[in-house]
Amino acid sequence: MKITLDVLQKRKNTQKITAITAYDALFGRIFDGEVDVILVGDSLNMSFGGNADTTNISLEAMIYHTQAVCRGVKSSFIIADMPFGSYAYTKQALKNAIKMIKATHIDAIKIEVKPDKIDIVKALVDEGIAIMAHIGLMPQFIKAEGGYKIKGKTATQADFLLDSALAFEKAGAFGILLEGIQADVAKTITQSLEIPTIGIGSGRHCDGQILVWSDAFGFFTQFKPKFVRRYFEGEALLKQAVRQYAKDVTESTFPNENESY
Ligand code: KIV
């Protein structure tokens, strides 16, 4: 069954939303139907592109990866990130979001926003685009903020986050992604909204959870944020397999007769 916007919105206060990232058709197909939401996150610029942060990925690269994911995913709800600098003002945001929609088969778009961008959210929604607003720790802002900082530690920050979430809900966002927000603040935001929240590093009270797949399955091991739970030791297991393959080739035990024509 295809997960639709309606299904996600009805999950509020009933059943948790499960979400994971994917960046290609191969893994999109593996994750499809196992989770409600698949996000083509710009985190791919780090974990797969080997870059220091997400800021230098292009719209074309995001479209390329999103097209691949869409080829592999049939039932999960697909969201794609708009990359840094592609939605700085309304006209540009509309042009690029429409380009993304027309080039792919996504269900929704996610953008990292502060309330000064409320008009952009409204314009996108008015155009018929389902928008998820990403608030809290926003990786696209790290250069201005001097790093990755957990949000909601002060009352002022907590109020700002709650006001932002309420403003984006009013502007028509179908959901809010809460990243790196103190668990108690994320809980208050979640309880104050009618639309669902999906959290990453924001505690267990959000309406759903998302992880970057290469973190969750142990393929990205340069560092492990506190909020990541590893469900698989991908790097270690893959290294073991690739070493075995190299050994078999070196020792001429691969291919054998059954593997030859
Ligand atoms: O780019 C990404 O992977 C994200 C995370 C919050 C999941 O936005």
Atom 8 of ligand 1, residue of closest alpha carbon: 41
pLDDT, average across residues 78-102: 98
Q: With 90 as the cut, is the pLDDT of residue 155 above it?
A: yes
Question: Residues comprising the binding site for 3-methyl-2-oxobutanoate?
Answer: 42-43, 81, 110
Gyration radius of the chain over CA positions: 20
Domain that holds residue 97: 3-229
Here the CATH number for the domain that contains residue 39 is 3.20.20.60
- Whether residue 120 sits in one domain with residue 96: yes
pLDDT, tens only, 93-150: 999 999 999 999 999 999 999 999 999 999 999 999 999 999 999 999 999 999 999 9
- Whether residue 250 sits in one domain with residue 133: no
The pLDDT value given to residue 29: 98
The pLDDT value given to residue 222: 87
The pLDDT value given to residue 23: 98
- Whether residue 112 sits in one domain with residue 238: no
- Whether residue 146 sits in one domain with residue 24: yes
Instruction: State the distance from the centre of ligand 1 to the C-alpha of 147, rounded, in angstroms.
Output: 16
- Whether residue 50 sits in one domain with residue 166: yes
pLDDT, average across residues 58-75: 98
- Whether residue 163 sits in one domain with residue 239: no
Establish whether 179 is a catalytic residue: yes
Instruction: State the distance from the centre of ligand 1 to the C-alpha of 43, rounded, in angstroms.
Output: 6
Q: With 90 as the cut, is the pLDDT of residue 255 above it?
A: yes
The pLDDT value given to residue 142: 95
Q: In total, how many domains does the chain have?
A: 2
- Whether residue 158 sits in one domain with residue 133: yes
- % of residues, the chain, pLDDT over 90: 98
- Whether residue 185 sits in one domain with residue 102: yes
- Whether residue 158 sits in one domain with residue 74: yes
The pLDDT value given to residue 228: 98
Instruction: State the distance from the centre of ligand 1 to the C-alpha of 106, rounded, in angstroms.
Output: 16
The pLDDT value given to residue 223: 86
The pLDDT value given to residue 190: 98
Residue count of the chain: 261
- Provide the CA 132 distance to its chain's centre, in angstroms: 10
Q: Which of 36, 66, 177, 198, when mutated, tests ligand 1's pocket best, judged by the most ligand atoms within 8 Å of its CB?
A: 177
CA dihedral 23, 26, 32, 35 (to 10 degrees): -50
Q: With 90 as the cut, is the pLDDT of residue 213 above it?
A: yes
Q: Indicate if ligand 1 lies below 6 Å from the C-beta of 32.
A: no
